[in-house]
Amino acid sequence: MRLVKPKKFLGQHFLKDLSIAQDIADTVDACPDLPILEVGPGMGVLTQFLTRKGRTVKVVELDYESVAYLRENYPALEDNIIEDDFLKLHLERVFDGNPFVLTGNYPYNISSQIFFKMLDYKDLIPCCTGMIQKEVAERIAAGPGSKTYGILSILIQAWYKVEYLFTVSEHVFNPPPKVKSAVIRMTRNEVTELGCNERMFKLIVKTTFNQRRKTLRNSISSILPKDNALSADPIFNKRPEQLSVQQFIDLTNRVEAALAPEAKE
């Protein structure tokens, strides 16, 4: 069967370097024994190494041409090919509610959405690895004070340990993307409860970083009740990129407390 033609609208850039594919596949070894779900296998350059791990491997692929290629070239995968949009999948059904490792050479155009979905299923995904745009990987791994530190950094690092593993040149893909890529690994930390209202936590993180040039006093004013004493605190002179995950948790609890009297009225 002829090779699959990369489709721009699906963000497809097929990896050609087998040694890099092997290195990416080996990132799942940090979570041994668990089944593996690969997103966007394309022509199976990563899949071929994952299937040698001695674990159940399922792949989810939206591109009908890639699905046909996988069925012809990887007949053993036949029953484990999910022809669907990953973002629409009910992940609790993939391995009958059991935990699994998520991996893949993720489409650049939906990588952030993939990780937001991972967070929704964090109790089922103790480990997530794979290759994404270098800029996004740096953003996820960034710490407080960095220009790349933002919403993804905070929300993921609240629940996962993030490792930026290695950078991948644009020249090992067909077609070459306009940016470099990077391989990361995210492993669940020991946090089971944030210690604050998760919905409010997300709201505060997103609200402040969407106005990241403003101080917290100005960006968070839309959430706080008028005439509150809270905004007099020196922390409100800071900008969001200066706060750690724990400081955002503490801030969430203080905002909740400030809103409590208003809620009772």
| Residue 193, in any domain of the structure | no
> Residue 263: what pLDDT?
45
pLDDT bucket at 258, cuts 50 / 70 / 90? confident
CB neighbourhood size of 71 (10 A): 14
Burial class (CB in 10 A: 0-12, 13-18, 19+), 227: exposed
pLDDT tens track for 7-60: 676 666 788 999 999 999 999 999 999 999 999 999 999 999 999 999 999 999
The residue from 188, 211, 238 where one domain ends is: 188
Q: Are residues 141 and 258 both part of a single domain?
A: no
| Residue 98, in any domain of the structure | yes
CB neighbourhood size of 213 (10 A): 9
Q: Are residues 109 and 146 both part of a single domain?
A: yes
pLDDT tens track for 94-131: 999 999 999 999 988 899 999 999 999 999 999 999 99
Q: Are residues 60 and 176 both part of a single domain?
A: yes
Task: Give every CB contact of residue 251 below 8 A, 6+ residues apart in sequence.
Answer: 204, 216, 235, 243
| Residue 3, in any domain of the structure | no
Instruction: Report the domain count for the chain.
Output: 2
Task: Give every CB contact of residue 252 below 8 A, 6+ residues apart in sequence.
Answer: 196, 197, 200, 201, 204
Q: Are residues 122 and 170 both part of a single domain?
A: yes
Q: Are residues 175 and 231 both part of a single domain?
A: no
Q: Are residues 172 and 229 both part of a single domain?
A: no
Q: Are residues 92 and 160 both part of a single domain?
A: yes
pLDDT tens track for 186-225: 999 999 999 999 999 999 999 999 998 999 988 988 888 7
Q: Measure the N-to-C terminal CA separation of the chain; round to a whole number of Å.
A: 69
Q: Are residues 18 and 106 both part of a single domain?
A: yes
> Residue 175: what pLDDT?
77
| Residue 2, in any domain of the structure | no
> Residue 232: what pLDDT?
74
For the chain, list the strands marked E by DSSP: 14-15, 36-39, 57-60, 81-82, 101-104, 127-133, 160-168, 173-174, 181-188
DSSP codes, 1-35: -PPPPP-GGGT--EE--HHHHHHHHHGGGGSTTS-
Does residue 265 register a pLDDT over 50?
Answer: no
Round to whole Å and give the CA distance between 203 and 122: 19
Closest residue by Cα to residue 156 from 181, 136, 179, 183: 136
Whether the Cβ atoms of residue 130 and residue 39 lie closer than 8 Å to each other: yes
> Residue 1: what pLDDT?
53
The rounded mean pLDDT for the chain is 91
> Residue 2: what pLDDT?
67
Q: Are residues 55 and 149 both part of a single domain?
A: yes
The residue from 145, 168, 188 where one domain ends is: 188
Q: Are residues 106 and 147 both part of a single domain?
A: yes
**CATH code of residue 216:** 1.10.8.100
**CATH code of residue 161:** 3.40.50.150
Sign of the dihedral defined by the CA atoms of residues 150, 152, 158, 161, in that order:
negative
> Residue 264: what pLDDT?
44
Enter the tokens of residue 257.
């407390």
| Residue 1, in any domain of the structure | no
Show the domain range for 120: 8-188
For the chain, the farthest-separated pair of C-alpha atoms sits apart, in whole angstroms, at 69
Closest residue by Cα to residue 244 from 186, 158, 161: 158
> Residue 80: what pLDDT?
98
Q: Which amino acid is at 10?
A: L
Q: Are residues 241 and 178 both part of a single domain?
A: no
> Residue 231: what pLDDT?
66
Average pLDDT over residues 152-179: 94
pLDDT tens track for 139-163: 999 999 999 999 999 999 999 999 9
Q: Are residues 246 and 215 both part of a single domain?
A: yes
| Residue 104, in any domain of the structure | yes
The residue from 143, 165, 188 where one domain ends is: 188
Task: Give every CB contact of residue 208 below 8 A, 6+ residues apart in sequence.
Answer: 214, 216, 219, 220, 240
| Residue 121, in any domain of the structure | yes
Enter the tokens of residue 83.
């022809």
> Could you say which DSSP state residue 53 is in?
G
